[in-house]
């Protein structure tokens, strides 16, 4: 049983998919005995204007800072962002981040140029080359890694979440060359990798990434892992974080990482 539970990936109602106010998320976290959370509302650079992300992020940061004061004695509250598709507009993505005093930035990829939104792909369509979908995703993810304006790379196994319901498989080992490149560059840039527990609440029923890729990151010299539930409502805050910590320990990590003012804090897996 771990006592230092930190959830570094939480969405409030300032994200399009979020349902609860930051205050109620914090209240849920306190009830669950969590030590700290980072509010990482979504900002997608490919639809920045349409979704009014500038305003959303401003409100997200206001709410997180207010909650930090309200819950000061009970919970550490930091303000972050899930920066999605930064490679769609790298300069603007940097500008957006520079406008707020973020504690933490997740780098993330949901949509790619060749196949669009990974959540919307119809894997049942005849003739679809699933290997190519996945290779294309990870090659474009390398562009996110090279953008390098984030602290931790979010949900590395993201497309697997949406393949599983079709009962189809992909040979991920066939694109290990791209994964190796991702890990090498993350480590060279001093960036963390996220262990996302959200998949455990989906059909895939698995951590993203799996232990194979956590080990790959470690083998290339990576030491910083952030853990996040990817929750969009209070009831899922902190879900499976304990299990995630166990997994990290089994892979050989001695610490996990939580960010404050864009600086990594290494917390022992006790
Ligand atoms: Fe995401």
In this structure, are residues 18 and 236 in contact, taking their beta carbons and an 8 Å threshold? no
Distance from the CA of 108 to the center of ligand 1, in angstroms?
6
Distance from the CA of 54 to the center of ligand 1, in angstroms?
18
Q: Is the pLDDT of residue 76 over 80?
A: yes
Distance from the CA of 240 to the center of ligand 1, in angstroms?
17
- In this prediction, residue 1 has a pLDDT band, given cuts at 50, 70 and 90, of low
Distance from the CA of 250 to the center of ligand 1, in angstroms?
25
Query: Rounded distance, CA 251 to CA 200, Å?
Result: 18
Distance from the CA of 65 to the center of ligand 1, in angstroms?
22
Cis omega before residue 209 (within 30°)? yes
Predicted local confidence at residue 2, as pLDDT = 74
**Averaged pLDDT, 113-119:** 97
Closest CA to 213 of 257, 183, 174, 177: 183
Q: Is the pLDDT of residue 106 over 70?
A: yes
Cβ neighbour number for residue 220 with a 10 Å cutoff? 15
Distance from the CA of 15 to the center of ligand 1, in angstroms?
11
Distance from the CA of 91 to the center of ligand 1, in angstroms?
20
Mind listing the pLDDT tens digit for each residue in 240-262?
A: 999 999 999 999 999 999 999 99
- Could you give the domains of the chain? 6-268 (3.20.20.140)
- In this prediction, residue 7 has a pLDDT band, given cuts at 50, 70 and 90, of very high
Which whole-number Å values give the CA distances from 104 to 65, 134, 146, 202, in the listed order?
13, 27, 18, 25
Distance from the CA of 154 to the center of ligand 1, in angstroms?
7
């Amino acid at each position: 049983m771990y006592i230092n539970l930190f959830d570094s990936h939480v969405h409030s109602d300032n994200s399009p998919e979020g349902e609860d106010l930051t205050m109620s998320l914090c209240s849920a976290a306190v009830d669950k005995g969590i030590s700290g959370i980072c509010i990482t509302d979504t900002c997608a650079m490919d639809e920045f204007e349409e979704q009014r992300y500038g305003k959303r992020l401003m409100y997200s940061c206001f709410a997180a800072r207010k909650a930090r004061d309200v819950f000061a004695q009970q919970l550490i509250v930091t303000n972050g962002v899930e920066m999605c598709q930064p490679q769609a507009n790298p300069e603007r993505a940097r500008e957006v981040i520079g406008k707020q005093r973020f504690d933490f930035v997740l780098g993330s990829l949901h949509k790619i140029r060749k196949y669009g939104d990974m959540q919307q792909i119809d894997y049942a369509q005849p003739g679809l080359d699933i290997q190519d979908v996945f290779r294309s995703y990870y090659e474009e993810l390398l562009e996110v890694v090279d953008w390098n304006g984030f602290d931790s790379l979010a949900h590395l196994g993201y497309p697997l979440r949406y393949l599983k319901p079709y009962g189809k498989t992909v040979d991920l080992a066939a694109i290990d060359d791209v994964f190796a490149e991702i890990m090498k560059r993350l480590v060279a840039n001093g960036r963390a990798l996220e262990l996302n527990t959200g998949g455990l609440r989906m059909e895939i029923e698995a951590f993203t990434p799996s232990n194979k890729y956590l080990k790959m990151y470690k083998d290339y010299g990576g030491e910083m892992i952030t853990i996040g539930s990817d929750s969009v409502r209070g009831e899922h805050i902190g879900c499976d974080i304990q299990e995630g910590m166990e997994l990290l320990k089994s892979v050989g990590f001695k610490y996990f990482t939580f960010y404050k003012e864009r600086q990594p804090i290494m917390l022992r897996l006790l």
